[in-house]
Structure 1
Amino acid sequence: MSNESACRYTLVTNLHKPSIDAGETITCDLFIIGSGAVQRSQIFVGHSNPNLVDENIGYVKTSLIIDENDEIVYGDAALDHARDHTDNLSEAGGHYSFDNRYFETIDYDLDEIEDLDFGVSFLETRHDTHVPLQFQLPTSENAKPGDYTIPFVLTYESEESVLRQTKEPISIHINDAREQWEPWPTYARIAIAVIGTVSLMLTAVSVALTAGLL
């Protein structure tokens, strides 16, 4: 097998809520699964639809940081750290780059990791129950109801200077007025149906009594 095929990664997304109200925040957990040495990488998130967001392009919250000693800190110690967007922005979305050491295998003293052939990198597991990466995007209060697609694109370069991309879109639905009130409209329809049924039954009983059938 050639060196060109030695480095492969896949972007895995976990969308918290596929349907939200306008003004709520889109939250999506991100994991990067694979193996091989990486010398640079970035995630691009596109959301060019003006009906979905205002000026806020969102941000990536991470449970991984590089501290002042140039060492990786993860879990609770990095929980409140959020990567701001870079200058590499456009109206279509934002780019987020990460330290290539996050792709390295974690030196955990855990039997379930030691038994894995490829190990586990910092980007493919939780740290103190926290996901490695989480994208958050506040939607506009005036976002139009409907379905939207947000593409996530991971671009990475191996140590052999081979560039690859993996894409993973997520689908978001912005609720309309009726959907925002659910499940109350459904309850109301059920209540009306029940009341109608009971009313018909009472009417039938009344008619039967009047006719002397009961």
Structure 2
Amino acid sequence: MNLKKAIVLIACQVIMTSVHAGLNAKKEIINSEIPSNYVTSDTAQVEFYSYTKRQITALDPNAPSKSNTLITACQGSTVLLKAPKFGKNAQYKWNGPSGFTSYSSEIVIDQIDTNYQGYYEVIVSDAVRSIKGIIQLVVKESPQLSLAQTIFSSQQNLTLVAKDLGKNTNYYWLTADDIAIASSREIYLSPHPAGRYKYKLTIEKDGCTAEDTFDIFVKD
């Protein structure tokens, strides 16, 4: 292989939990040479992504240090960093933030948080070649959900107001039966009889999503 054409592929995957195809997922994990000290989720559903490019990222081994690529992940997601496999005699070494080190072709970081943010460098070598790739991993905090008021009188309108998270934020309200109500930070509902009601709120901000169901209490 021409060294100039050699690239280090580092794929960032969000691995979402699924109740299906569990046995197949376990086989995939075992065959990937993932270190045993990492906890992984079911890989039946996998989305490869870079939030900026929406694709697998190819790294140029000849690019200057710390200038190759940027991958953004959401807090709480699972990230897979992946180097090309050069065969059974190849050697791999990863270095990362806070003294992180791994000697596998692939590493999985589960329930990622800001402590894992930083630069990850991988060196892959065999008897005839050695290439290097560097990736910058940025971890974005998940949106925080809260309501200004959850207790109302049966004589008043219900005004549900989500916490203001600033620009680039989308709000989606649904009933407990998943019927869409509105896509705004505030919703206004007619008076309800006394009782407890549930409303769902989903927030998207800078590519990260959070959702929760809130109990709304109405008193006489």
TM-score (norm 1): 0.31
Going by fraction, where is strand more abundant, 1 or 2?
2
Question: Larger C-alpha radius of gyration, 1 or 2?
Answer: 1
